[in-house]
Structure 1
C-alpha cells in the first residue's frame, strides 16, 4: 500500500475518534481533504482490502552431510544449482545405515564362519522360482515383449530364455525393483567416510585393532565406489531429464528390471524401444541392456555350461545365482 493512502487512512481514523474541540475537528477535516485530494476513493478502498501476500518460503538448504559431496560433484562437472535443488528436497536423506550394513556384511564374509546347511530334504532353488503362478507370469511377459526379445536375440546372440530368467531372478520381471531411493542410498554411502559414524553397526563383533583397520580401508573403498555410482546415476538422470529423487533401487543402488549399477547403465545401457533415452524400468530397454552386458561379458554361440556359468557370474558374482538362472532358462 503506498504511503499517501496509508496517511489518508490514518487521518480518517483520527477524525472518526471523539475530538476535544470543534475547531480541532474542523482543522482535522481540512487536513484529511488535503491528503486525499486527487486520490480515487475506490482506490483507497481497494488498497485497504487487499490482502498482504505471505513471504515466499525460503528454499531449504541441503543437509550439511552433503556439503563435501556437492563440491566434489561440481568439480566433476555436474551443475551445482541443480544439485542443490535436488539434495535440498526432504526425500533425500543422509543415512549411515547403508554403509554400516555393508560393512557388517563384509565383516561376516571375511571373519565369520559360514552357517552350516541343515540336513533334510530341500527344494532346488529353481523349483522355488518356477511355481505355477510364476510360470504364468513368465509366459505373459514373453508374449507381451516378444518383439524386444526377438530383436535382442538376433542382435546380441542371447537366448530369450536366459534374458527372461535373469529379469525373473533380479526383479520378478519388474515387480520388485527395490524399495529404497537409489539417490539416498548412493549419496549416503559416498558421504559416510568416518568410521566413528558406523562403529555402532560393528560393535557386536568386537573387532580387534587389525580388523578395525581393515574395516576402515574397506569403508574408504566402498565410499569411493559409491561416489562413482552416484555421479553416473546423476549423469544418467540429467541426460534423460528424469527426476532422480523418485527412482527406486536395491540396498546398494542397483536400478531397473535388470538391476544395473549406474556406471553399467551409462556404459552398457541400450535404448531398446528407441524413445531417445535409456530407461531400465522399460522392459525393452532392460532386455536389450542385459543382452548387451552379457555379450560384452563374453557370451557367444556354442558356449558350454561352464562357459555360460562364468559369463553369468560376471553379471552377479555368485555361483548359485548363475546356476539358478541357467536352470530356469532350460525350463521355460
Structure 2
C-alpha cells in the first residue's frame, strides 16, 4: 500500500507507499517520495498528489530534540496500545538510523514523465507473461476472492505485479529501521516553505512506527525481523502498518493475517482494500477511452472522485468511445501519448485503484496490465 505516494503521508490512508522502491533509485515521485512500478525498479514521476486539506490540524514546527521526541513516542505508544514502555524502549534500542533511506528521501523530484514513457515501466511483455503464469498458478484462490468481493482476479494480480514483481521483490530493509529513520530523522531541505510538509511526513512515519508495534503484537510477528521497502511497506501487496491493521484480512481461516506467506490472505486483503477504502463496484467498469470534441477545452478537475454525469461531461465535449451504461458517473483523464493526447473516462473502480497509489497514471497502468493479463489487446501508449 502504499502504498503510498507522499500524499499518503498527508492523508494517512493508502496502502501504497506500497509502491516505494526497496533500494534507492534515481527516479523519485514528483513530490519527494519515490514511487515505483515494482519494488526495486526505477519508477516514473507523476503529477503532484493531493495535499493536506484545509481542515488539517495545525502542526507545531518547533524543533524537538531527538531524545525528547523518542521519549515522547515511547510514552504515547505505550498509552495508546497498552504495550509496556520498557518493551518499546528495548525494541527501539535495536533500531538503526539508515543513511541510504535519508538519502533516498532527499533526492530531488524528477520531471513528470508522459504516459508513453511511464507505461513501459509498468507494462512489459515479461510482466504480462509473469502475470498470466501467476494467475494460472493461483486461479482457484483468486477466483474465490473475486466471487466473494467482486474484485477481478487479474486486477489483484496486476497490483502484485506492479508492487513486487509477483512477490519476487518485497524489500530488503528492516521495516523497523525504515520507519525509525523516517519517524525521527526525516530529511529537511532547509526551505522554510517546505518545513510544514516535511514535519507532517515525519509525523506520518512516527504514527506508522507506532502502528508497527501494535501490528506485530496482534499478528505475533517479530518486529526486528520483518523486511520491506525503505518507506516501511510490507509483503506482496506492500501494505504500510496502518493499512495492514485496517484492511488486511484472514483469507484462509487460520486465525492470522499473513501478508508475507499466505496467498489467500494477500489476495483477500488487496481486494478488501479496494472494496473498503476505494468503494469498488462489483461488475462495474474501470475506464473507457473517450473523445474530446474539436475546439473544446480539456477538463482536468482537481477532485479525482468520479462525480460527473455522462451528460455533464458531454456538455464539456467528452464522449465515451464505447457504450457505457446510463447513470454512471465518471472523471475525465488526459494522457500524453506517443501520437498525441489520449482521453479516457474513469469510473468508481478507476478511482478505487488511485486509492492504492495517488497517481492517475499508476491506476491506468494497473488497469491496462490487468487487461493484458486477461488476454486483451492493449491500446498504443
Q: TM-score normalised by the shorter chain: which range applies?
A: 0.5 to 0.7
Aligned ranges 1:168-247 → 2 under 5 Å: 168-192=161-185, 198-199=187-188, 202=189, 211-212=191-192, 214-247=193-226
Alignment-derived partner of residue 372 in structure 2: 331
Kindly tell me the number of residue pairs found equivalent between the two proteins.
244
Query: Aligned in 2, Cα 1:317/1:117: closer, same or farther, shift over 3 Å?
Result: closer
3-state DSSP of counterpart to 1:313: helix
Question: Over aligned residue pairs, what C-alpha RMSD do you find?
Answer: 2.8
Measured in 1, the distance between the counterparts of 2:183 and 2:121 equals: 38
Write the distance in 2 (CA, Å) between the matches of 1:291 and 1:125.
Answer: 23
Query: 147, 153, 172: which is aligned to 1:154?
Result: 147
Cα 1:116–1:79 shift into 2, 3 Å? closer
**Equivalent residue for 1:299?**
280
What secondary structure is seen at the aligned counterpart in 2 of 1:221?
A: helix
The corresponding residue for 1:115 is: 111
Asked whether 1:130 is paired with 2:124, we answer yes
What displacement does 1:135 show? 4.0
- Give the deviation of 1:167 after TM superposition: 0.6
Query: 2-side partners of 1:285 and 1:115: how far apart?
Result: 37
Which of these residues, 133, 139, 144, is aligned with residue 140 of structure 1?
A: 133
The one-character-per-residue Cα deviations of 1:47-78 (angstroms, maximum 9, x if unpaired) are xxxxxxxxxxxxxxxx9684443233223222
In structure 2, what is the equivalent of residue 93 of structure 1?
Answer: 96
Say if 1:271 and 1:277, in contact at 8 Å, map to a contact too: yes
**Structure with the greater alpha carbon radius of gyration:** 1
Partner of 1:183: helix, strand, or coil? helix
Contact 1:126-1:327 at 8 Å conserved across structures = no
Task: Name the CA shift for 1:117/1:324 in 2 (closer, same or farther; >3 Å).
Answer: closer
Of Structure 1 and Structure 2, which has the larger fraction of its residues in strand? 2
Structure 1 match to 2:86: 81
Q: Which has the higher contact order (CA 8 A, sep 6+)?
A: 2
Residues 68 and 127 of structure 1: is their aligned pair in 2 closer, same or farther, counting only changes over 3 Å? closer
Deviation at 1:269, TM superposition (A): 0.5
Distance 1:127 1:74 in 2: 43
* Aligned equivalent of 1:70: 74
CA distance in 2, matches of 1:117, 1:155: 37
Unaligned runs of 5+ in 2: 1-65, 288-345, 374-381
Instruction: Find the residue that maps to 2:224 and give its secondary structure.
Output: helix
Q: Which residue of 2 aligns with 1:311?
A: 352
Under a length normalisation based on structure 1, what TM-score does the superposition of the two structures give?
0.66
How far is 1:171 from its partner? Answer: 0.6
Structure 2: distance between partners of 1:280 and 1:68: 30
How far does residue 284 in structure 1 lie from its aligned partner after superposition? Answer: 1.6
Q: Are the counterparts in 2 of residues 69 and 190 from structure 1 also a CA contact under 8 Å? A: no
Aligned 8 A contact 2:250 2:265 in 1: yes
Alignment of 1:270-285 (within 5 A): 270-281=249-260, 282-285=262-265
Q: 1:256 and 1:304, CA in 2 relative to 1: closer, same or farther beyond 3 A? A: closer
